Structure 1
Amino acid sequence: MDSQYRGVLNGLKVRMQKNRLGELLVLDGQLSPSDLKHALALSKSTGKVLGKVLADEELVPSSVIRQTLIEQFFLRSALAILTIFISLGSMGAFSQARAGSAIKDVPARVAFQQASAYSSVSQYPKLFGSMEKQSSSLSAFTKWTGMFERFDAALNTSEGQQSMHNFKSQLEGLRGLSMNKAIEGVNSIVNSVPYVNDNVLYGKNDYWATPMEFLKNGGDCEDYAITKYVALRTLGVPEDRMRILILQDLQKNIPHAVLVVYTDNGAMLLDNQIRNVTPIERVSHYKPIFSINREAWWLHTKPKGNVTVVASSSR
């Protein structure tokens, strides 16, 4: 196992062993050790979960408890992803994708033209200065692969076809524009869709919606990113210029998702929390975890600086 990833994995394991809800709250100065001991005793005697006891006894604000529980979820997710990645690496899964191993190219079904309107990227800037390790094995990312399967099935229905027809009508005015103009237009169109939490729409904490579901119902951060990705594929932006990036919002201390587009001017961030398309180097409150597209995914670790992008475009 690569020593770099062994260290990251061990670090996450230590955090998961130590950072239970009560311990996290004590470490953050939100709860005293004596109050934690009292709350644990009440939890045991009443059968209530610790978070409920802390809120009922007014020892910790409910908003702080929710935020800490989100951090726990993030840590578990990060540990699971890294464990999968290292396991795949030990089996030699970091080689080039074999024929048929990538996800079906569903966005090509709705593209204005089959050929890409823009050239591919030859080199990539580091995202927030992070180091990257790539894998072509996507089977573990069931929310991502499942979205494509549902997207493909929806395109075989009259409702799905009409939804994409209406969406493409909105995109029509962006055809033939420079990549920068295209991504600005897509970002504006998609960001106008209302934000709605997954729990409200689907009764789940994390559901990756198809573009049709998002355009009909609204959605949360990854749904904005997915629909922007599909819109730009529709306009001819090639797969290798885009990734869905899962990151940690260091200001809100919660996971977040954005779309990254590699342009001739560097990596651009399309974010439902930021009104305008933004060069990635201008954003400092995000920490990348992993990024993914239809062909591969990348683990991001240890920020170390940045490099320039080398790319060319037909427009």
Structure 2
Amino acid sequence: MSAFRSGCVSLSKWRNRPLLHFLLFLIFATTLVCADRLPIQFNTFLEKMNQQFGPTRVVVARNWQTMLVQSQNKTEQQKILIVNDFFARNLRYRTDIQLWQQNDYWATPLETLGKGLGDCEDYAIAKYISLRALGIADSKLRLIYVKAQIGGPNSTQTQAHMVLGYFVTPNAQPLILDSLITKVLPAAKRTDLSPVFSFNSQGLWANNSTQSVANPTARLSRWRNIIEQTKLEGVMW
């Protein structure tokens, strides 16, 4: 112990040293973990990305990792805007039929970033997991199924759609992160969206209810599959 102490340098002397900053970056970059965060084992994630989609898509995955690491100390509002902007810049819209030859497929963030493509559910899931990794509590985030008005303000035509909602408090009006538009807007300004139900890893809510009505993994098999698959890809639920 005495030999160890004699070889140590006070952290105060290293506070502004590049090496210390680099070491701290490596600690957070390898595993994003703290009490409120959804930890991601990036060694596993990057290895699987390389195996499934090749080194070119590993670059995109590393960019995602860097964005998360660099956003750790931002405010929640800043984190929301940064994450929303990241996926707006790095993904393009594709239907499940075009991408997966299935009518409805929920992709993991690894699959979505690996393809660089996805539909509304894929955008919402990737943003949800990103914000959970940044320490935003699960109680503040819900994946929301809506009926989206299409064809203009006077149209009565709608289609099924998914967005991500951020709630400052349980009864607050959420901010909406959407794949249809790049702006993050309060729900009151999204008159083109009508909520049907919402969920996260803790509960499932009907319409605008404040009490969960079911276990989301029991009722939503695709959500259960997402949680099980992302565990294998390095997301430590």
Output the TM-score relative to the length of structure 2. Answer: 0.60
Q: Deviation string for 1:139-178 (max 9, x for gaps)?
A: xxxxxxxxxxxx99x9578224867554211223322111
The residue correspondences of 1:275-314 to structure 2 (distance < 5 A) are: 275-300=182-207
| Equivalent residue letter for 1:158 | E
Partner in structure 2 of residue 250 of structure 1: 149
Q: Which runs of 4+ in 1 moved over 3 A?
A: 154-157, 160-166
Partner secondary structure for residue 123 of structure 2:
helix
Partner in structure 1 of residue 75 of structure 2: 178
Following TM superposition, by how much is the alpha carbon of 1:116 offset from its aligned partner in structure 2, in angstroms?
2.2
The residue correspondences of 1:1-315 to structure 2 (distance < 5 A) are: 112-116=32-36, 155=44, 158-160=47-49, 165-192=62-89, 193-217=91-115, 218-251=117-150, 252-263=157-168, 266-300=173-207
Partner Cα distance (2:208, 2:165) in 1:
17
Whether the 8 Å contact between 2:146 and 2:195 is mirrored in structure 1 is yes
Whether the 8 Å contact between 1:111 and 1:233 is mirrored in structure 2 is no
* Structure possessing the higher relative contact order (Cα contacts under 8 Å, 6 or more residues apart): 1
CA RMSD of aligned residues (A): 2.7
Q: Deviation string for 1:168-221 (max 9, x for gaps)?
A: 112233221111111001000012211111111110111000001111111000
CA pair 288-173 structure 1, distance change in 2 beyond 3 A: same
Whether the 8 Å contact between 1:180 and 1:263 is mirrored in structure 2 is no
User: Any unmatched runs of 5+ in structure 1?
Assistant: 1-109, 118-150, 303-315
Partner secondary structure for residue 263 of structure 1:
coil
User: Any unmatched runs of 5+ in structure 2?
Assistant: 1-29, 51-57, 151-156, 210-237
Q: Deviation string for 1:123-147 (max 9, x for gaps)?
A: xxxxxxxxxxxxxxxxxxxxxxxxx
More displaced stretch, 169-178 vs 288-297: 169-178
The alignment-based identity, stated in percent, is 29
For these two proteins, the number of residue pairs brought into alignment is: 159
CA pair 160-239 structure 1, distance change in 2 beyond 3 A: farther
Q: Deviation string for 1:232-286 (max 9, x for gaps)?
A: 0111111111010001012351100000011267410000112111111111111
Partner Cα distance (1:299, 1:288) in 2:
9
